[in-house]
Amino acid sequence: MLILGVDPGLTRCGIGVVEAGVSRRLSFIHVDVIRSDPHTSQDLRLLRIYDGICEKLDRFVPDTVSIERVFAQENRNTVLGTAQAAGMAMLAAAQRGIPVALHTPTEAKLAITGNGQAQKIQVERMVMRLLNLNTMPTPADAADALAQAICHALRPAGALQGGEREQHLTPAQRQWAEASQKANRRHGVNRGM
Protein backbone atom coordinates (compact mmCIF):
# COMPACT_ATOMS: atom_id res chain seq x y z
CA MET A 1 0.00 0.00 0.00
CA LEU A 2 1.33 3.42 -0.97
CA ILE A 3 0.52 6.18 1.52
CA LEU A 4 1.03 9.89 0.89
CA GLY A 5 1.32 11.82 4.15
CA VAL A 6 0.55 15.53 4.35
CA ASP A 7 1.66 17.97 7.02
CA PRO A 8 -0.56 20.88 5.97
CA GLY A 9 0.71 24.42 6.05
CA LEU A 10 0.24 27.55 4.00
CA THR A 11 3.92 28.55 3.86
CA ARG A 12 5.34 25.00 3.92
CA CYS A 13 3.24 21.91 3.21
CA GLY A 14 5.13 18.69 3.87
CA ILE A 15 4.61 15.69 1.59
CA GLY A 16 5.93 12.23 2.46
CA VAL A 17 5.36 9.00 0.56
CA VAL A 18 5.82 5.62 2.24
CA GLU A 19 5.10 2.09 1.08
CA ALA A 20 3.66 -0.31 3.65
CA GLY A 21 4.39 -3.89 2.66
CA VAL A 22 3.87 -7.31 4.15
CA SER A 23 3.87 -7.34 7.98
CA ARG A 24 3.73 -3.52 7.89
CA ARG A 25 7.28 -3.33 6.60
CA LEU A 26 7.88 0.30 5.64
CA SER A 27 9.86 1.67 2.72
CA PHE A 28 10.77 5.29 2.07
CA ILE A 29 9.65 6.51 -1.35
CA HIS A 30 9.72 10.32 -1.41
CA VAL A 31 9.69 13.46 0.72
CA ASP A 32 9.31 17.11 -0.25
CA VAL A 33 7.94 20.44 0.91
CA ILE A 34 5.60 22.55 -1.20
CA ARG A 35 6.24 26.22 -0.48
CA SER A 36 4.18 29.34 -1.05
CA ASP A 37 5.39 32.92 -0.81
CA PRO A 38 4.01 34.68 2.31
CA HIS A 39 4.03 37.96 0.36
CA THR A 40 1.54 36.59 -2.20
CA SER A 41 -2.22 36.84 -1.77
CA GLN A 42 -3.78 33.94 0.11
CA ASP A 43 -5.79 32.68 -2.87
CA LEU A 44 -2.63 32.32 -4.96
CA ARG A 45 -0.82 30.67 -2.06
CA LEU A 46 -3.60 28.08 -1.75
CA LEU A 47 -3.48 27.52 -5.50
CA ARG A 48 0.28 26.86 -5.24
CA ILE A 49 -0.29 24.32 -2.44
CA TYR A 50 -3.15 22.68 -4.34
CA ASP A 51 -1.16 22.44 -7.59
CA GLY A 52 1.82 20.98 -5.71
CA ILE A 53 -0.33 18.35 -4.01
CA CYS A 54 -2.01 17.46 -7.32
CA GLU A 55 1.40 16.97 -8.93
CA LYS A 56 2.46 14.58 -6.14
CA LEU A 57 -0.82 12.64 -6.28
CA ASP A 58 -0.56 12.25 -10.05
CA ARG A 59 3.10 11.26 -9.83
CA PHE A 60 2.81 8.66 -7.05
CA VAL A 61 -0.87 7.57 -7.29
CA PRO A 62 -1.14 6.60 -3.60
CA ASP A 63 -3.73 4.19 -2.21
CA THR A 64 -4.46 6.56 0.69
CA VAL A 65 -3.73 10.14 1.70
CA SER A 66 -3.04 10.65 5.41
CA ILE A 67 -3.40 14.25 6.58
CA GLU A 68 -2.58 15.75 9.96
CA ARG A 69 -5.85 16.72 11.62
CA VAL A 70 -5.90 20.45 12.26
CA PHE A 71 -6.39 21.42 15.89
CA ALA A 72 -6.86 24.76 17.61
CA GLN A 73 -3.69 26.74 17.98
CA GLU A 74 -3.07 30.04 19.73
CA ASN A 75 -2.45 31.89 16.46
CA ARG A 76 -5.81 32.09 14.65
CA ASN A 77 -4.24 33.04 11.30
CA THR A 78 -1.92 30.02 11.46
CA VAL A 79 -4.73 27.56 12.18
CA LEU A 80 -6.90 29.03 9.40
CA GLY A 81 -4.11 28.72 6.84
CA THR A 82 -3.31 25.20 8.03
CA ALA A 83 -6.98 24.17 7.80
CA GLN A 84 -7.24 25.64 4.30
CA ALA A 85 -4.11 23.77 3.17
CA ALA A 86 -5.55 20.55 4.64
CA GLY A 87 -8.73 21.24 2.67
CA MET A 88 -6.70 21.55 -0.53
CA ALA A 89 -5.17 18.12 0.13
CA MET A 90 -8.60 16.59 0.83
CA LEU A 91 -10.05 18.15 -2.32
CA ALA A 92 -7.18 16.96 -4.52
CA ALA A 93 -7.49 13.41 -3.14
CA ALA A 94 -11.29 13.37 -3.48
CA GLN A 95 -11.06 14.49 -7.12
CA ARG A 96 -8.93 11.42 -7.79
CA GLY A 97 -11.05 9.01 -5.76
CA ILE A 98 -8.28 8.45 -3.21
CA PRO A 99 -9.43 7.76 0.37
CA VAL A 100 -8.39 10.30 3.01
CA ALA A 101 -7.52 9.63 6.66
CA LEU A 102 -7.03 12.29 9.32
CA HIS A 103 -4.69 11.69 12.27
CA THR A 104 -3.89 14.01 15.16
CA PRO A 105 -0.28 14.68 16.15
CA THR A 106 -0.91 12.63 19.32
CA GLU A 107 -2.08 9.66 17.25
CA ALA A 108 1.04 9.91 15.10
CA LYS A 109 3.32 10.05 18.15
CA LEU A 110 1.55 7.08 19.69
CA ALA A 111 1.66 4.98 16.52
CA ILE A 112 5.35 5.69 15.91
CA THR A 113 6.84 5.72 19.42
CA GLY A 114 4.19 4.07 21.59
CA ASN A 115 3.92 7.34 23.57
CA GLY A 116 1.33 9.98 22.63
CA GLN A 117 3.34 12.58 24.57
CA ALA A 118 6.68 11.83 22.87
CA GLN A 119 9.00 14.71 22.10
CA LYS A 120 9.49 15.77 18.48
CA ILE A 121 13.09 14.48 18.48
CA GLN A 122 11.90 11.02 19.59
CA VAL A 123 9.40 10.89 16.72
CA GLU A 124 12.03 12.05 14.23
CA ARG A 125 14.50 9.37 15.38
CA MET A 126 11.85 6.66 15.07
CA VAL A 127 10.90 7.91 11.59
CA MET A 128 14.56 7.59 10.60
CA ARG A 129 14.78 4.11 12.12
CA LEU A 130 11.50 2.83 10.64
CA LEU A 131 12.40 4.10 7.15
CA ASN A 132 16.12 3.23 7.41
CA LEU A 133 17.19 6.83 6.72
CA ASN A 134 20.69 8.13 7.45
CA THR A 135 19.52 11.71 8.02
CA MET A 136 16.23 13.32 8.94
CA PRO A 137 14.55 15.20 6.11
CA THR A 138 14.38 18.93 6.70
CA PRO A 139 12.56 21.16 7.38
CA ALA A 140 10.41 19.63 10.12
CA ASP A 141 7.35 19.74 7.83
CA ALA A 142 8.95 17.04 5.65
CA ALA A 143 9.60 14.77 8.63
CA ASP A 144 6.07 15.40 9.93
CA ALA A 145 4.59 14.36 6.58
CA LEU A 146 6.52 11.08 6.73
CA ALA A 147 5.25 10.62 10.29
CA GLN A 148 1.67 11.03 9.03
CA ALA A 149 2.18 8.35 6.40
CA ILE A 150 3.82 6.01 8.93
CA CYS A 151 1.02 6.65 11.42
CA HIS A 152 -1.56 5.49 8.89
CA ALA A 153 0.50 2.42 7.99
CA LEU A 154 0.91 1.39 11.64
CA ARG A 155 -2.65 2.10 12.77
CA PRO A 156 -4.41 -0.80 14.44
CA ALA A 157 -6.62 -2.81 12.08
CA GLY A 158 -10.13 -1.41 12.22
CA ALA A 159 -9.07 1.82 13.89
CA LEU A 160 -10.33 3.89 10.99
CA GLN A 161 -13.20 1.65 9.98
CA GLY A 162 -16.29 1.04 12.04
CA GLY A 163 -15.67 -2.75 12.08
CA GLU A 164 -14.47 -4.97 14.89
CA ARG A 165 -11.00 -4.45 16.28
CA GLU A 166 -8.32 -7.11 16.14
CA GLN A 167 -8.30 -9.20 19.27
CA HIS A 168 -4.50 -9.22 19.53
CA LEU A 169 -3.48 -5.56 19.59
CA THR A 170 -0.18 -4.57 21.12
CA PRO A 171 -0.38 -2.16 24.08
CA ALA A 172 0.77 0.69 21.80
CA GLN A 173 -1.90 -0.17 19.21
CA ARG A 174 -4.55 -0.35 21.94
CA GLN A 175 -3.48 3.10 23.23
CA TRP A 176 -3.50 4.44 19.68
CA ALA A 177 -7.05 3.14 19.08
CA GLU A 178 -8.25 4.65 22.35
CA ALA A 179 -6.63 8.02 21.52
CA SER A 180 -8.21 7.91 18.07
CA GLN A 181 -11.66 7.24 19.53
CA LYS A 182 -11.21 10.04 22.06
CA ALA A 183 -10.12 12.49 19.35
CA ASN A 184 -13.07 11.51 17.18
CA ARG A 185 -15.52 12.09 20.02
CA ARG A 186 -13.88 15.45 20.80
CA HIS A 187 -14.14 16.53 17.16
CA GLY A 188 -17.62 15.07 16.65
CA VAL A 189 -16.45 12.55 14.05
CA ASN A 190 -18.57 9.46 13.57
CA ARG A 191 -16.51 6.77 11.84
CA GLY A 192 -19.58 4.58 11.35
CA MET A 193 -20.94 6.85 8.63
pLDDT in tens, 139-153: 989 999 999 999 999
Is position 68 annotated in a ligand binding site?
yes
Closest by CA to 10, choosing from 104, 95, 88, 74, is 88
User: Is 141 annotated as catalytic?
Assistant: yes
**pLDDT tens per residue, range 87-117:** 999 999 999 999 999 999 999 999 999 888 8
Is position 141 annotated in a ligand binding site?
yes
Domain range summary for the chain, segments of one domain joined by +: 2-186
Choose, from 51, 55, 63, 68, the residue flagged as catalytic.
68
Q: Is the pLDDT of residue 127 over 70?
A: yes
Contact call for residues 151 and 66 (beta carbons, < 8 A): yes
pLDDT winner (highest mean) among 11-20, 72-81, 133-142 = 11-20
Would you place residue 71 in the very low, low, confident or very high pLDDT band (cuts 50, 70, 90)? confident
User: Is 63 annotated as catalytic?
Assistant: no
What class has domain 2-186? alpha beta
Alpha helices in the chain (DSSP H): 42-60, 76-95, 105-113, 120-131, 140-154, 171-186
pLDDT for 166 equals 40
Q: What is the mean pLDDT of the chain?
A: 85
**pLDDT tens per residue, range 5-16:** 999 999 999 999
pLDDT for 162 equals 36
Please tell me the pTM assigned to this model. Answer: 0.80
pLDDT for 23 equals 80
Choose, from 107, 124, 141, 144, the residue flagged as catalytic.
141
Contact call for residues 89 and 28 (beta carbons, < 8 A): no
Question: What does residue 3 show for φ and ψ, rounded to 5 degrees?
Answer: -120, 130
